[in-house]
Amino acid sequence: MPTFEVPGAELAVALSDEGGHPVVQLHGLTSSRARDRVLSLDLGRGLSGTRLLRYDARGHGRSTGRKVPEDYRWENLADDLLRVLDRWFPGERVHGVGPSMGAATLLHAASVEPDRFTGLTLMVPPTAWETRTDQATIYRAAAALIESDGVEAFLAGTRGSTPPPATVAAPDSWPDIADALLPSILRGAGLSDLPSAKDISRIGVPTTILAWVDDPGHPLSTAERLATLLPDATLTVARTPQDVEAWPEVLRRDVGRRG
């Protein structure tokens, strides 16, 4: 499996080359390509006739990272993304897809280089702006708990919580991150936010927003705000696992329409 060096990390990258339009797929915080597949968030599964590029974000999955919280700020992850695109799809416009942290990374990258993308499929956008402060406090507390009591204590605190209704069929899974890096990655997320409303309003590419209900970490309010800020956005809300099962077809249509 090829790796790609970025400042402070080596990214594990995989390209499924069937010709056609280039697509880059990202994943969420504490996840990876492999874990997103378990969670049914791998929308690229079954996507044919494209050049589909997937990679693990720094510190996640099979990619390396450092114990430096600032490395994991979303702006830095967006810089990684643009470097990856320059390497695999130089001079080309791509379609971007990803959940949560992946969606945030895409928005930051598109705010820097909006002409780099033909379209975006943003899944379960995370807390942002007014709701970000409380989430950042949760991340800092989790990082401190891991350092004092270990990862198992952190995981124990997450068990028994009520999942969003659209994810009740998802199996249990654990962070795909080395224990030693997890506190830094959580703190990096706590230092992050989405781009400003002004910057987002300049992202004019066609965008599909896929959200679900009853998830404080991915509130519907973020998705709704993005739908009003982005000039060409469509919002779809999932309430059942069956709704989420339809998302790969949404991506297929997005890529076909905008490729």
Quick check: 9 and 63 in contact, CB under 8 A?
yes
Kindly tell me the sign of the dihedral angle through the C-alpha atoms of 213, 217, 219, 223.
negative
Instruction: Give backbone dihedrals phi and psi of 235, rounded to 5 degrees, phi first.
Output: -110, 130
Quote the pLDDT of residue 158: 78
Percent of the chain beyond pLDDT 70? 98
Quote the pLDDT of residue 160: 65
Q: What is the CATH number of domain 3-258?
A: 3.40.50.1820
Quote the pLDDT of residue 113: 96
How far is residue 68's CA from residue 57's CA, in Å, rounded to a whole number? 14
How far is residue 44's CA from residue 173's CA, in Å, rounded to a whole number? 20
Q: What is the pLDDT of residues 61-105, one digit of tens each?
A: 999 999 999 999 999 999 999 999 999 999 999 999 999 999 999
How far is residue 207's CA from residue 209's CA, in Å, rounded to a whole number? 6
With a cut of 50, list the residues of the chain below it in pLDDT.
none
CA distances from 113 to 51, 73, 75, 199, 200 (A): 20, 18, 12, 11, 12
Domain ranges in the chain are 3-258
* Its pTM surpasses 0.85: yes
